[in-house]
Structure 1
Amino acid sequence: MKTAISIPDPIFAQAEQLAARMKISRSKLYVIALQKLLQEHHQEHITDQINDYIRDHGQPIDEVFVNSGLRELRQIEW
């Protein structure tokens, strides 16, 4: 798909330099940058959903993990 966007001159110049250093097209650079931004946003959204669940329902407790930690603590000489 083709699209037209407006980019401030300083950012455009930096993008041109980076694309040249990476030996990729300007279009490929923009695709990579957009993919990274979308992935970051998706991960932030998942984190927000987890935080909302914990806020609403409390922190889930993994009994196996807790018991394993307690066993380790009991073996430490205080």
Structure 2
Amino acid sequence: MTYVEAMDWMRYRRQTGPLNLGLRLEDGFAMLATVFNNVMGGKAKYSDYMPDRGFNVEPKSATPQEVLALLKRVKG
């Protein structure tokens, strides 16, 4: 694949979304479920129907004791 072809594919992906059919189906069904919910008087958001993939995980702060325990395990 040439550089120009790769750039064309990148541009296509930005415009149309992922190429994975499963992800596209999930996206479409979530959109439909949101529309149906809102038409019936519900207050659901689009993100309520999307599966949680763990991408937006809040970072956990470590306590000093946890850091010390981790370092002791690595030392040995």
Same fold by TM (over 0.5)? no
User: Computing the radius of gyration over CA atoms, which structure comes out larger, 1 or 2?
Assistant: 1
TM-score (norm 1): 0.31
Higher normalized helix content (fraction of residues): 1
TM-score in terms of structure 2 length: 0.32
